[in-house]
Chain A
Amino acid sequence: MSTVMQRPDATAGSETIRTLPTRIRARAATDPDRVAMREKRFGLWQDITWSEYWDKVSTVAHALVSLGVQPGDRVAVHSENRPAWLYSDLGTIAVRGITMGLYPTNPSAEVSYLLRDSGTKVLIAEDQEQVDKALEVEHECPDLEWIVYLEPRGVREYDHPKLMDWPTFLERGRAHREQHPDLLDRLAAAAEPDDVVTLIYTSGTTGPPKGAMLTNGNVEFATRTLITEGGFYDPPASGDDVILSYLPLCHVAERAATTWTNAEAGVTVHFAESIETIQANLKEVQPTLFFAVPRIWEKIHAGIHVKMHAASRLKKLTYGFWMKVAERIGDKLVANGGNHTLTTRILYGLGHPFLYRALRDRIGLRKVRAASSGAAPIAPEVLKFFFGIGVPIYEIYGMTENAAVATVNRPGRVKLGTVGEPHPSIELRIDDETGEILTRHPANFAGYWNKPDKTMETLDTDGWLHTGDVGVWVDGTHVKIVDRIKDIIIPAGGKNISPSEIENSLKTSPYIKEAVVIGDQRPYLTALIGIELDMIGDWAQRRNIPYTTYRDLTTKPEVLQLIQKAIKDTNERFARVENIRKFRMMPKELDHEDGEMTATQKVKRSALNDIFGDLVEDMYANRTEHAGGDLVSVHSVEVAEPAEEGAT
């Protein structure tokens, strides 16, 4: 491991275990003036050094103690990604507390549930929006004692006994630190591998979210496997690497990609201004390591197509030519496990000055040396595209309950369509009967918070974690995910069908953003389609098809035909029983706050059945009341009500 292991401060006893805060402290001692992270404020990427980082972490830790946080108490963070998120997280761990993250998009009802379920004592809320959510439900949460807010704008005038602003909070921490200078040392020495450090609430596509408890030991093992041994990025991350943090930190993947990678490898983290500015921030930061969920990769991919449509003819010609070459390179690479051959190297070298270098620069991936995709299945076409332009994406598989430690595609041994090989130091098997993927290793979580029955269902007595995913071995080495067990469709006809495979194939069409395949206990398969507003809007404009809103666009016959064609294309790739016979357009964009998606942008199937039940019945009852079609014809409907706002 790195030299950081030899901790320079001798104050802590020899039995002090390594945790995230001790890593920060060690870096602050060895590299005080190196930049740990940057945050963009007032148009500048402002440096935060390791010593400043540790100073803030220890201040927050003391402040939490001064607010009465005891070991084992829960501290919630409800904020977009920003340095204060990390300060709060590590400050909590430093006092042996438990961090719980809330998605900024969580509506107040969910906030209430999460605060109540976790029994949160202190909530660190970002701004007025989050404070309002908390105050709305504060009376339902008896354990909640303090709400610390980061942005005073709008909150300053609030008069509530539980509110405290961030500067006051830090001031308390400094005062407390002066009185108890050795507190953190004592707490660090007392820390145990079994201490729960974070509750990560699973997205809950079915039922209410459950808080998975991860311990120091889990985090240590995950850090070692994913970061030190290159499970996340191979070759492993180092202090010269630059990353952009933009996915929600309450998700285990981003926690690993940002907090853990930063603490362990010393990479410089840049916090994106917001999820909307990723493209611009990417271009500025040009990270060397990049982790994204499929949705982001698809968005970048689709964005390139939209922009190329508007490019001048000469640019289109060169782009077209070199993309053909890139396709060849992509195909070769994929067939070769991600290894370059002499031909692909030469081809790539030729295309680099003409297209690839510039293209990668514009999308902000010019300096990316390793990229990964996870948290959901990604379409092979998208992977191939990025391989072709020289951004190899390695699909990684894991889940909250095993701290994201399961499988990864290693450079040179990539198999498209699989999630890769199990990490060398873990046990992974596929159940013979159910086909469920099981893992057993030190990063298997400690259980669900306050839900021993659910824990029993997931962690069996032998220590195997039941992932709930059905998988198959490919060539005996790689794992291919079939689907979530719960999602497998058993049509009235028989044979089990994996909807996500069909859905992903549908989603490779640049025009389709969401696809939900339906057919459980039904005679045939159907699909609900959500369109990609940017792409179809652009497409409609170029064809002079006037439209007003998202909903209006979904009822255009031309659009329906476009979708019909995409469905037919997909059908060709699947067996006959797996073919989609009918489709209906979802009249709105799916949204977390309306309960149609989880905070991680996964479709909640159960909720959709309620919300769009009439659309489904429309198909199986052979009616045509809603815009959609079958494989032969399409039908649109008049938008009766004034179309609702289709804005994102």
Chain B
Amino acid sequence: MTSRTATSTPASSPSTPTVPPTGSSAKTSSRLRRGRPELYTDYAADMAMFNTPAKRLWTGLLLVGLLILPFYLDRSWTSLFITVFIFAIGAIGLNLVSGYAGQVSLGHAFFIGLGAFTAAYFGGTDPNFLGLGLDMAIWLPMAGIVPAIVGWAVAPLASRVRGLYLAIVTLGLLFVGGHFFNEFTSLTGGPNLGRTAAPPVLFGVDFSSAGPLLGIEMTARQRIYFLTLVFVIVAAVLARNLTRSKVGRAFAAVRDRDIAAEVMGVPLARTKQSAFAISSFYAGICGGLISLTSGGRLDPINFAGAEGLFLSVTFLAMVLIGGPATISGSLMGAAFVVFLPRFVETVAHYVPAIGSSGLFSVQQLENILFGVFIVAFLILEPRGLFGLWLRVRNYWKAYPFSY
């Protein structure tokens, strides 16, 4: 016999777990698993992100769709998609702290703003304002790291309170930060004036101008589309892996019952702190990229005071509508929130009650719809758009039974 079999643990001794087999049996296993999605012969397959062939197929199709899409879309639609990608990164960040770790944060806009101006500082080339003119390879990570440090620093304050009080504390952060943005004019340009943002030059390639990308001639918009698509995929995969790890489980434990989590040995303060820091990192990256949606200008007013609060609430809406504690929900939520105004605009052409001569303007209807959707989702489907998807999936999963 081979040494492997001779030294293997007795098959019936439960106290000594044997290492799940690998190697030679892997080929047989994959053949055997076809049509048997629930037959797991190793933990890796069980825990895989795409653990069923159906998931792999649909994710692949979605990816292919997203890759060919910009070649068929007009300028404004491409811009909308870019906005979706950038907002999705921020939504994932908020979902980590609010959806997964259960810590309501209204201060998200502050961290986005902080990321935006950090990026502008490190990458800004405008001589009128502070700016080091560095490459995107440096300013983008910095746009995440600086808010993460700030988040880590302020988290001990926030982690002492819960629920409504936490909302108030983070709201306070928003206003303090807003004041700072408005007054630090050498960096931010001041309210209503703003400054130019860092140019998206990555490793010397200027993505804000037309040119070839991977051998294909593209417009600036298409190039930015692919750039942000890569960022959002990386952000989503990292977040998904984070939530499947020990850290992610600690987040969920804290959300479900913080005292119980602490009893089980989850360090409460540190878990909340890392949730805030990681969330702020995502917010910062979103902020660093956000100027790409606004023609390369940054105005502190957008991140401060009432405007900032509105931005925070918009991100909360993405999380709630998309589905708390789901990464794909964050993506869906971002898409929903970004596409809704365009949808309303389109509809407004055909409904006479909407528009300048009607009962309310397009802008008003948008705001009303936002509110209605948030309330409706909270009441009817707290799991958000992802929950709707779950319903559809479960319907077919048990078919022809109901459970």
Question: Is the pair A152, B13 in contact by a Cβ cutoff of 8 Å?
Answer: yes
Count the B residues whose beta carbon is within 8 Å of the partner chain — how many? Answer: 35
Most chain B CB inside 10 Å of its own CB: which residue of A46, A167, A310: A46
Q: Tell me the smallest distance from the CB of B13 to a CB of chain A, in Å.
A: 6
Option from B15, B38, B402 in Cβ contact (under 8 Å) with A152 = B15
* Residues of chain A in range 116-165 having any CB-CB distance to chain B below 8 Å: 150-153
In this complex, the interface size class of chain A, counting residues with CB under 8 Å from chain B, is: 35 or more
A contact residues around B399 at 8 Å (CB):
315, 358, 362
A268-B41 Cα distance, complex, nearest whole Å:
13
A contact residues around B17 at 8 Å (CB):
41-42
Question: Is the pair B39, A319 in contact by a Cβ cutoff of 8 Å?
Answer: no
A307-B403 Cα distance, complex, nearest whole Å:
8
A181-B12 Cα distance, complex, nearest whole Å:
25
A contact residues around B41 at 8 Å (CB):
38, 44-47
Question: Is the pair B11, A167 in contact by a Cβ cutoff of 8 Å?
Answer: no
Question: Is the pair B1, A51 in contact by a Cβ cutoff of 8 Å?
Answer: yes
Option from B11, B36, B39 in Cβ contact (under 8 Å) with A83 = B11
B contact residues around A54 at 8 Å (CB):
1
Q: Tell me the smallest distance from the CB of A604 to a CB of chain B, in Å.
A: 33
A70-B168 Cα distance, complex, nearest whole Å:
82
**B8 CB within 8 Å of chain A:** yes
Question: Is the pair B1, A44 in contact by a Cβ cutoff of 8 Å?
Answer: no
**A33 CB within 8 Å of chain B:** yes
Question: Is the pair B2, A51 in contact by a Cβ cutoff of 8 Å?
Answer: yes
Complex: chain A residue closest to B45, CB-CB:
A44
B contact residues around A49 at 8 Å (CB):
5, 24-25
Question: Is the pair A307, B32 in contact by a Cβ cutoff of 8 Å?
Answer: no
Question: Is the pair B8, A52 in contact by a Cβ cutoff of 8 Å?
Answer: yes
**B72 CB within 8 Å of chain A:** no
Residues 343-370 of A, flagged 1 when their CB comes within 8 A of B and 0 if not, give: 0000000000001001100100011000
* Known A44-B43, A308-B401: A166·B1 in contact at CB below 8 Å: no
A44-B8 Cα distance, complex, nearest whole Å:
17
Complex: chain B residue closest to A174, CB-CB:
B6
Complex: chain A residue closest to B24, CB-CB:
A33
Question: Is the pair B39, A45 in contact by a Cβ cutoff of 8 Å?
Answer: yes
A151-B15 Cα distance, complex, nearest whole Å:
9
* Known A35-B25, A45-B41: A268·B400 in contact at CB below 8 Å: no
**A384 CB within 8 Å of chain B:** no
A283-B36 Cα distance, complex, nearest whole Å:
8
Question: Is the pair B401, A315 in contact by a Cβ cutoff of 8 Å?
Answer: yes
* Known A46-B20, A308-B401, A315-B400: A286·B10 in contact at CB below 8 Å: no
Option from B21, B35, B46, B403 in Cβ contact (under 8 Å) with A43 = B46
Question: Is the pair B11, A311 in contact by a Cβ cutoff of 8 Å?
Answer: no
Question: Is the pair B12, A310 in contact by a Cβ cutoff of 8 Å?
Answer: no
Complex: chain B residue closest to A270, CB-CB:
B39
**A312 CB within 8 Å of chain B:** yes
Q: Tell me the smallest distance from the CB of A40 to a CB of chain B, in Å.
A: 9
**A48 CB within 8 Å of chain B:** yes
**A75 CB within 8 Å of chain B:** no
Most chain A CB inside 10 Å of its own CB: which residue of B13, B38, B400, B401: B400
**B30 CB within 8 Å of chain A:** no
* Known A310-B402, A311-B402: A166·B10 in contact at CB below 8 Å: yes
B contact residues around A268 at 8 Å (CB):
32
A52-B8 Cα distance, complex, nearest whole Å:
9
B contact residues around A358 at 8 Å (CB):
399-400
* Residues of chain A in range 170-191 having any CB-CB distance to chain B below 8 Å: 170, 174
Question: Is the pair B40, A43 in contact by a Cβ cutoff of 8 Å?
Answer: yes
Complex: chain B residue closest to A283, CB-CB:
B38
B contact residues around A84 at 8 Å (CB):
11-12
A contact residues around B20 at 8 Å (CB):
44, 46
Q: Tell me the smallest distance from the CB of A124 to a CB of chain B, in Å.
A: 10
Question: Is the pair B28, A34 in contact by a Cβ cutoff of 8 Å?
Answer: yes
**B18 CB within 8 Å of chain A:** yes
Question: Is the pair B35, A312 in contact by a Cβ cutoff of 8 Å?
Answer: no
Complex: chain B residue closest to A82, CB-CB:
B12
A424-B252 Cα distance, complex, nearest whole Å:
64
Question: Is the pair A167, B25 in contact by a Cβ cutoff of 8 Å?
Answer: no
B contact residues around A284 at 8 Å (CB):
36, 38-40
**B14 CB within 8 Å of chain A:** yes
Q: Tell me the smallest distance from the CB of B241 to a CB of chain A, in Å.
A: 21
**A336 CB within 8 Å of chain B:** no
**B42 CB within 8 Å of chain A:** yes
A contact residues around B398 at 8 Å (CB):
362
A contact residues around B401 at 8 Å (CB):
307-308, 310-311, 315, 362
* Cβ contacts A to B, 14 pairs, < 8 Å: A43-B40, A45-B41, A47-B41, A55-B5, A55-B6, A83-B11, A87-B11, A151-B12, A151-B14, A174-B6, A284-B40, A315-B400, A359-B400, A362-B399
Counting from the closest, the 7 A-B pairs by CB-CB distance are A33-B24, A284-B38, A307-B401, A150-B12, A311-B402, A55-B5, A47-B21
Instruction: Supply 20 further A-B pairs (C-beta < 8 A) apart from A286-B35, A318-B400.
Output: A35-B28, A35-B29, A43-B40, A44-B40, A44-B42, A44-B46, A46-B41, A51-B1, A55-B1, A83-B12, A84-B11, A170-B10, A286-B36, A310-B403, A311-B400, A315-B402, A358-B399, A362-B399, A362-B400, A367-B36
